Structure 1
Amino acid sequence: MSVHDDLTTAQRCLDDLSRSVGRLEQQLGSTGLEMRRVRADADHLRESVALLREAASQPGSSRRPELVTIPDTPYDDSLWIDTDDEGLGARGRHAP
């Protein structure tokens, strides 16, 4: 399946969920905390799928980021000559 097909399937499932939540609201009422949370969660899912659909429609969105290889070899010690050891103070000086 393509991403478009998967998003369409997810949208259909959310539509079914929304209809079911609507029927539950009619039977149980919409004033209870539990029902309000279920409605809010269903709405949040709908918004999230809409954001996914928008991101998938942008060109280059399916590309993976370029990986950067970090070598295992030790760094050149000369890079650290003019630095202080963190928490230890400057070289050659002693704590009072």
Structure 2
Amino acid sequence: MSLQDDLTAVQRCLDELVRSVGRLEQHVGGGVDLRRVRTDTDHLRDSLALLREAAPELASRPRPEVIHIPDQPYDRALWSDVDDEGLGASDRRAP
């Protein structure tokens, strides 16, 4: 999927969220909690609009290099000269 396709999909979902919040507002009426949800959806719309404006610049950026981290445990000898921070030393009892 391209960046534009993803942005369009997010826009559709956000439009549906705004419609759903509107329907919920009709059922429940106003209130502090619902006003907060309405404000949050408005912020999401604004943020998505800003992201759409920046999309050409974002698409032209090189992707960061992916660094694969192995699943096997690290060699315990790497930490032989340090204490477990916050847990105390392994040969002493925590308070």
Aligned residues: 63
Question: Separation in 1 of the partners of 2:15 and 2:59?
Answer: 26
Q: Determine what percentage of the aligned residue pairs are the same residue.
A: 66
CA RMSD of aligned residues (A): 1.8
Alpha-carbon offset, residue 61 of structure 1:
5.5
* TM-score (normalizing by structure 1): 0.60
* TM-score (normalizing by structure 2): 0.61
Q: Match for residue 9 of structure 2?
A: 9
Q: Which runs of 5+ in 2 are unaligned?
A: 63-95
Describe the superposition over 1:21-72 as per-residue Cα deviations: whole angstroms up to 9, x where unpaired: 0000000112x110000000001001111100000134x75314xxxxxxxx
Deviating runs (4+, > 2 A) in structure 1?
none
Q: Give 1 or 2 for the bigger CA radius of gyration.
A: 1
Correspondences of 1:27-42 after superposition (within 5 Å): 27-30=27-30, 32-42=31-41
Q: Which runs of 5+ in 1 are unaligned?
A: 65-96
Correspondences of 1:1-96 after superposition (within 5 Å): 1-30=1-30, 32-58=31-57, 62-64=60-62
